[in-house]
Amino acid sequence: MPTLDHHHTGARIKEQRRLARLTQRKLASRLPYSYSLLNQVECGARPATADFVAACAKALNVDVTTLTGQPYVTELQRDRLAELVRPIRESLDLYDLGPAPDLTVRPAEKLIAGADHLCEEVRATHLRNAARKLPDLIAELTHAAWSGTSTELWQALASTYRTAHDISVKLGYYDLSAVALDRMDWAAQRASDPCLAAVRQYMRALVYFREGEYRIGQRLVASGHVVVGQAEETREALAVTGQLHLGASVICARAQDQAAVDVHIGEARQIANRIGDASHVHWLSFGPANVALHKMSAAVEMSQYDNALKQARKMKLPAQLATSRRAHFLIDRARAEMETGRRERALEDLVEARRMAPEQTRYHPGARETITGLVHLARRTPDTLSHMASWIGL
């Protein structure tokens, strides 16, 4: 049976608490959680929820990744994903160098199609393929955008920076994701595209959501609404507006503001009912299904696990829903299953998430914490759970 070691999140919280010269009771007094829960998390008796980790990071004045251990370098090296990060980092640094004199560049229409294809690859959870192709495409688009006056090329370049952000987040390189978002803003300004600029604000808001800075996240969402309000009321603008409401819903859920969650879900639902499925608009997966998924995620964030499972049982996910969203749904449902004592079902969900999106699941902090929790709760560890635990490096 796998055993918890000093690498689990609770142990990292304990280490950072001691470095800050705080007792458990002193740290607990700074948290919206009990001393008892802190004690259980530190010793590995309870998994650390995302909101708990964010609260501890804020109280200890450290990054969330310090406590989660991201990026999970050992596993990334075994999967040969870590070696793909440096070329992406280098390509992001080309933004202000102008045209590259010795670079052979494909026609503009192929570059624009390539940027769209990489967005699709990420949503299909083909992270390795996308990460390999991304640096060269960024280099070509940087050259092409500087060499001409095409708005479409600047939009495509902004899209590749967004893909760099998506890949960096999924692999746990949050410092790199912040650089990518800055580059996305730079390109969106040159494209004079308010929808792209609003998408960037939405993604920035989720960064602060992970860090537990919910007020900043809410302000960024509000800023995104102002920016997209500068665009004409097209289907694209409506989809972005709806996604901003969905982002706000999970931020407000993490802040335990049920009334605000209901308002944002309601606004997003009205837009989704009006425009239908708009999954391919900036690859945000916006539509009625994503509204339902966010409502369930909000319930999980507020520890309303029975409510979340009740919603999950009623869901019929459409065939066109992105694999990344399906896997996220399974990870959320697994957490709710574990917290309500349905451990076998929780394990089944995680196994299915792994089958469907192995790279996303392996590096998802929520999936890893749920696996850790199942290991602790199991009196006898089934072979499947042992394999899952070994797979994440436990």
User: What's the mean per-residue pLDDT of the chain?
Assistant: 93
Which pTM was predicted?
0.90
Would 85 be classed as within a structural domain? no
Would 90 be classed as within a structural domain? no
Would 335 be classed as within a structural domain? yes
Residues 6+ apart with CB under 8 A from 315: 289, 292, 293, 296, 329
- How many structural domains is the chain composed of? 2
Last residue in a domain, options 11, 37, 69:
69
- Tell me the two tokens of residue 247: 């982002």
Find the mean pLDDT for residues 114-131.
Answer: 95
pLDDT given at position 78: 86
Would 162 be classed as within a structural domain? no
Domain with 7, as residue range(s), is 1-69
- Bridge partners of 158, per DSSP, are none
pLDDT given at position 297: 96
Does 87 sit behind a cis peptide bond, omega within 30 degrees of 0 on the bond before it?
Answer: no
d(C-alpha 3, C-alpha 13), whole Å: 18
Cα Rg for the chain, rounded, in angstroms? 21
Would 9 be classed as within a structural domain? yes
Last residue in a domain, options 37, 69, 101:
69
Give the model's confidence band at 97: pLDDT under 50 very low, under 70 low, under 90 confident, else very high.
very high
Find tokens 């449902």 and name the residue: 333
d(C-alpha 118, C-alpha 137), whole Å: 10
Last residue in a domain, options 28, 46, 69:
69
Give the model's confidence band at 380: pLDDT under 50 very low, under 70 low, under 90 confident, else very high.
low
pLDDT of 159 higher than 60: yes
Q: Report the percent of the chain where pLDDT is more than 70.
A: 97
pLDDT of 108 higher than 90: yes
Taking only the tens place, the pLDDT of each residue in 13-57 is 999 999 999 999 999 999 989 999 999 999 888 888 888 999 999
User: Phi first, then psi: what are they for 208, rounded to 5°?
Assistant: -70, -30
Would 50 be classed as within a structural domain? yes
Would 154 be classed as within a structural domain? no
What is the CATH number for 43?
1.10.260.40
Taking only the tens place, the pLDDT of each residue in 242-288 is 999 999 999 999 999 999 999 999 999 999 999 999 999 999 999 99
Would 151 be classed as within a structural domain? no
